[in-house]
Amino acid sequence: MAETIASMRRPKRGRPPRPRESDFVTGEEFEDEEEGEDHAEAADGLAPPRSKRKREASAAAAAALEDLTLIDIVKHNGRLISHAVKRLVEDYESNPKSVLFQILTMLFEVCGARHDIYASDLHEAAVDDIVFKLAELARKGLVDDNYSSKRKDLKNFKENLVTFWDSLVLECQNGPLFDDNLFTTIKDYVVAISCTPPRVYRQVASLVGLQLVTSFISVAKTLSGQRETTQRQLNAEKKKHSDGPAVESLNKRLSITHENITYLEESMRKIFSGLFMHRYRDVDPEIRMLCIKSLGIWVVSYPSLFLQDIYLKYLGWTLNDKNAGVRRTSILALQSLYDVDDNIPSLGLFTERFYSRMIQLADDIDISVAVPAIGLIKQLLRHQLLSDDDLGPLYDLLIDEPPMIRRAIGELVYDHLIAQNCKTPSVARDGNNESSEIHISRMLHILREFSDDPVLSSYVIDDIWDDMKAMKDWKCIISMLLDETLIAELTDMDGTNLVRMLRASAKKAVGERIVPATDNRKMYYNKSQKEILENSKSDITNALMKRYPQLLRKYLPDKAKISPLIDMMMLLKLEMYSLKRQEQNFKAAIDLIVDAFFKHGDKDTLRSCIKAIAFCCMKCQADLLDYAENKLKILEDELVLKVKTAIKEVEAGDDEYSLLVNLKRLHELQLSKPVKNDGLFEDMYRILSHLKEMDNEVKSFLLINMFLEVAWCLHAIGVENPSETSIEGLSSKQRSASLLQRCGACLRSQSILQQS
């Protein structure tokens, strides 16, 4: 084997003369130039004459290495690592003991030990004796913590350390890697140091040992590719000649390659058993995270060795780690594992054993753990490794407090229940092969669970909105509400949920919140975002412009549906009615909103009607503005007349219901604007004075409306030059002040004001 390895080594390169310092170039240039040389040698079999720039780069590297030790390069000169490694490998052929001493000395120094160990000590003493001396240095405080240092000049220390060992393994793959001396000794020291009490020793040794396995895997994968190629060549050659020098040569090459792969796998097992199996449960969570992260990389990159339950179980065990960072690292490692379809058949037993813990982590106390855990569950569903019965507790998280968790659960619900990508992976995301009606129908099925609470429905819609394009298909939703689609007619509950979904989705599309924000910060949008929101508003207006009156007319008697529909008016671009010559549809919508105001008496509908009409009075232009203002004036006059008529009817002994409903309407109107009337305040004062046996709710609304009228009068005289009419109006109400105080005190004692 030794002879074969020697024959595979590259020839030595001659050393160039020492250059001037001004000839120095960057490490990136060094690497580019070396790669160019390798390609040329591979193509022609000869090293062509190097250009002046290449000669200068190589000379600069050699000069820089003359006065620097390995520890200096790792700490401060990462760009020289590849050249330092090349020189070590070249020198190893002539003086292996010296190179081994340099590498081990660097290992001790990156651990921070201020040692006085010499080459003779390494050759004469056992590994345990040397490591014991290093531990004694730490006990005496003779250690510098380079690993956790915050010094600016050491910011690349970990990265450089990893690069050094990776480069060393890759550079040695054609020789010293398989000589049973260099890396065997390094492995022994790394494993021994990783088991010492000083934390910094364990941190550095763990990083080095785990990186060695990762680098061994890179070499093993390269050799595996070579073995497959050699096997194909051998099979082809055997078809031509059953025996001969070519077959013998290929058999020999195949045998050597196989031996090298076996050697590397055995080295990986030794580091795993000597280092990983102890350090994955180290007291330091950073070491535990490093171990689990590395194991995840190994399983994905080299499944032929590591995709076994004897290795996978460590990923499952660390799902219960007390440190959130370790749990999160384990979840991320499993995500990369389940992301490869070819791995799934080998994960059946592991999944069966640990799936319940994965589901529990979706409700982890730490959000950084819960969110990736939900993503992991989504992967399990995609591979049909979980049943629907296992997901019951997850759906409660749709209304959880942290937005990130709700968003992750919303994505899972969309994939699994609406788009059903998990059940049918061949279907394109967001249903290019399915209609919006099907997705909306599935969404309505989910919303049935939350029909009794509109707030919870809003949370569910908010969670799923970003993923579900069908929720932005305005024409489809409107057609479903008007029963114009091919699917079955909507039930009353589904109709209510669909109207709520239309309003909530439209609000989201124009940039409004539909659930309370946790930070209460105002949302700001840049120019491009504002353009997107304006385009969305235009799309909603185009879809609703002609159909809006039809929707209002159909659902006018239904108080559960009419309020969200009326709210849609405030999400439209009203100027488009004039641009598209749809003034008649606008007027029809306003008329229907006024009709809804006098048809219903619940607070939500009344408030929606007033806000919608007030919005039109603010945003409309020209004829549409005049029409909206005129409608509001007619509504005001009609309402005052209804209140006065109802007061007379109650004084005549009729039922109080009409008065109560119209007082509620007056209350909502006065919350937005002052109501001009002749004698209405006196009428309310009179009925309060004379009819003491009225229902308390009627009394409370009489008092509230009187209070609002006084408040508007005070507001009118609060300006610099109040009008005489405003002052006279307020003066005329002074005589009712004592009555208001007495009634207010009585009502407060019964908590009626608070209840109303």
Claim to verify: residue 249 and residue 108 sit in the same structural domain? yes
Whether 248 and 136 map to the same domain: the answer is yes
Which two structure tokens, joined as six digits, stand for 297? 């990389």
d(C-alpha 713, C-alpha 722), whole Å = 10
Return the structure tokens found at 212: 């060695």
- Check whether residue 128 and residue 247 sit in a common domain: yes
DSSP state of 546: T
Q: Is 76 a domain residue?
A: no
Strand partners, 113: 143
Q: How far is CA 55 from the centre of its chain?
A: 50
Q: Which residue, 227, 258, 279, sits at the end of a domain?
A: 279
Residue positions counted in the chain: 756
In a domain, 286, yes or no: no
Mean pLDDT of 127-155: 89
Q: Is residue 22 part of a domain?
A: yes
**Domain co-membership, 107 together with 255:** yes
At residue 719, the pLDDT reads: 57
The pLDDT, as a whole number, for residue 124 is: 78
Residue 594 lies in a domain: no
Residue in the block written with tokens 């194909």: 232
Q: What is the mean pLDDT of the chain?
A: 84
Residues 15 and 162 in one domain: no
Q: Do 11 and 157 share a domain, yes or no?
A: no
Boundary residue ending a domain (49, 67, 85): 67
Indicate whether 206 and 107 sit together in one domain: yes
Which amino acid, 301? S
Cα gap 191→194, rounded to integer Å:
5
Q: Using pLDDT thresholds of 50, 70 and 90, give the confidence band for residue 503.
A: very high
305 vs 217, 221, 272, 302, 544, CA distance in Å? 10, 11, 12, 6, 61
Domain span holding position 188: 95-279
- In whole angstroms, how far apart are CA 523 and each of 402, 405, 519? 18, 21, 11
Same structural domain, 58 and 151 = no
Is 108 within the bounds of a domain?
A: yes
629 found inside a domain: no
143: which strand partners? 113
Burial class (CB in 10 A: 0-12, 13-18, 19+), 593: buried
Q: Which two tokens stand for residue 587?
A: 């007027």
Tally of structural domains, the chain: 3
Q: Where are the beta strands (DSSP E) in 334-444?
A: none
Instruction: For residue range 64-78, list pLDDT tens digits in order.
Output: 566 688 899 998 888
For residues 47 and 111, membership in a common domain is answered with no
Instruction: Answer yes or no: is pLDDT of 735 > 60.
Output: no
What was the pLDDT predicted at 21?
41
In terms of domains, do 51 and 114 share one?
A: no
Taking the CA of residue 530 as centre, how many other CA atoms within 13 Å lie in the half-sphere pointing to its CB?
A: 5
Q: Is residue 713 part of a domain?
A: yes
Q: What was the pLDDT predicted at 609? A: 95
Residue 754 domain flag: yes
Instruction: Report pLDDT for 58.
Output: 58
| DSSP codes of every residue in 479-503 | HHHTT-SSSPPPPHHHHHHHHHHHH
Helix axis angle, 348-360 relative to 309-317, nearest 10°?
0
Q: Which residue has the higher pLDDT, 589 or 240?
A: 589
Do 56 and 143 belong together in one domain? no
Boundary residue ending a domain (252, 279, 306)? 279
Confidence of residue 358 (pLDDT cuts 50, 70, 90): very high
101 with 239, same domain: the answer is yes
Collapsing DSSP to helix, strand or coil, 113 comes out as strand
Question: For residues 425 and 381, which has the higher predicted lDDT (pLDDT)?
Answer: 381
Highest averaged pLDDT of the listed ranges 41-55, 286-300, 451-465: 286-300
